[in-house]
């Protein structure tokens, strides 16, 4: 389909969007899921990360969407299958290369420091079973708190780019540093939580009236963290990021004064 869009959902986006709601039956993330012509993907590590968040709601929501095939769940073996279809015997080499790229986008030296077993193997000569065993061992050793979910999503992102031959949308964290890692790899359009209001306006004609209860919910989340402004790129030659009061940003989004950027930031038109 010519207008088909492929999208990756990350853990932070799912968790935050699940909190933003009109009521218990109407969550903002469900609006995202009904945007036309989008096919959604996740790495299985997302379910592990959601479990670690220790909140039942997002995990149950996620499992329901996977079961109903509204989200396609990939594991590392399935990524290898995709790479094998494209690169044949070089699939393992390509996976290592993509993992290194993902690690470098996150932090210099991360691969060598944390994927010690993978660093030792020669992917040209190791068997697939041993390869996956070494990868699993490294992942288990890395454990919680080291952004493994983001890294696995970065690997899947690269695989999807190769599979579909087009830019993939990444529904991701509001955190600038996390988005920068995705942008650094290329081949993605980042959509943050705030950005999603612009995207919904374009995709499903989400009006200010429709959005109002979700805006109030989001503002409540922001105020709970003492956040009263968003950063928006101005129209100056220097393209400065300016702090703008949250409520004003929403007014200007629905007045058509603010548009999206590939980085996940917003800009004045």
pLDDT digit string (tens) for 30-76? 999 999 999 999 999 999 999 887 677 999 999 999 999 999 999 99
Report how far residue 258's alpha carbon sits from residue 252's, in angstroms, rounded to the nearest whole number. Answer: 6
- Supply the pLDDT for residue 80: 98
- Supply the pLDDT for residue 107: 86
- Supply the pLDDT for residue 54: 64
- Supply the pLDDT for residue 2: 59
Give the chain's residues under pLDDT 50: none
* Helix 76-87 and helix 128-142, axial crossing angle in degrees, nearest 10: 140
Cα angle value 106/107/109 (rounded, 5°):
135
- Supply the pLDDT for residue 226: 95
- Supply the pLDDT for residue 178: 67
Do residues 17 and 211 make contact, with C-beta atoms less than 8 angstroms apart? no
Task: Give the global pTM.
Answer: 0.92
Report how far residue 17's alpha carbon sits from residue 214's, in angstroms, rounded to the nearest whole number. Answer: 10
- Supply the pLDDT for residue 182: 77
Write out the two tokens for 165: 């031959």
- Supply the pLDDT for residue 166: 80
- Supply the pLDDT for residue 125: 94
Report how far residue 177's alpha carbon sits from residue 179's, in angstroms, rounded to the nearest whole number. Answer: 5
Report how far residue 258's alpha carbon sits from residue 160's, in angstroms, rounded to the nearest whole number. Answer: 29
- Supply the pLDDT for residue 131: 97
């Amino acid at each position: 389909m010519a207008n088909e869009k492929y999208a990756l959902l990350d853990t932070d986006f799912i968790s935050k969007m699940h909190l933003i709601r009109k009521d218990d039956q109407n969550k903002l993330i469900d609006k995202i899921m009904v945007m036309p012509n989008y096919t959604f993907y996740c790495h299985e590590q997302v379910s592990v990360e959601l479990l670690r968040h220790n909140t039942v709601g997002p995990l149950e929501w996620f499992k329901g969407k996977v079961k109903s095939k509204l989200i396609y769940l990939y594991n590392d073996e399935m990524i290898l299958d995709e790479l094998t279809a494209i690169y044949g015997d070089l699939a393992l080499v390509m996976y290592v290369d993509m993992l290194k790229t993902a690690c470098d986008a996150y932090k210099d030296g991360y691969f060598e420091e944390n994927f010690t077993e993978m660093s030792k193997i020669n992917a040209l000569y190791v068997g697939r079973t041993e390869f996956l065993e070494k990868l699993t061992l490294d992942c288990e050793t890395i454990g919680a708190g080291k952004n493994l979910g983001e890294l696995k999503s970065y690997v899947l992102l690269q695989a999807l780019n190769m599979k579909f031959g087009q830019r993939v949308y990444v529904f991701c964290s509001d955190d600038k540093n996390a988005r920068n890692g995705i942008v650094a790899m290329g081949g993605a359009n980042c959509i943050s939580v705030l950005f999603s209001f612009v995207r919904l306006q374009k995709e499903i004609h989400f009006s200010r009236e429709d959005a109002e209860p979700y805006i109030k919910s989001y503002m409540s989340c922001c105020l709970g963290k003492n956040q009263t402004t968003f950063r928006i790129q101005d129209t100056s030659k220097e393209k400065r990021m300016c702090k703008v009061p949250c409520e004003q940003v929403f007014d200007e989004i629905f007045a058509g004064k603010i548009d999206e950027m590939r980085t996940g930031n917003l800009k004045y038109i």
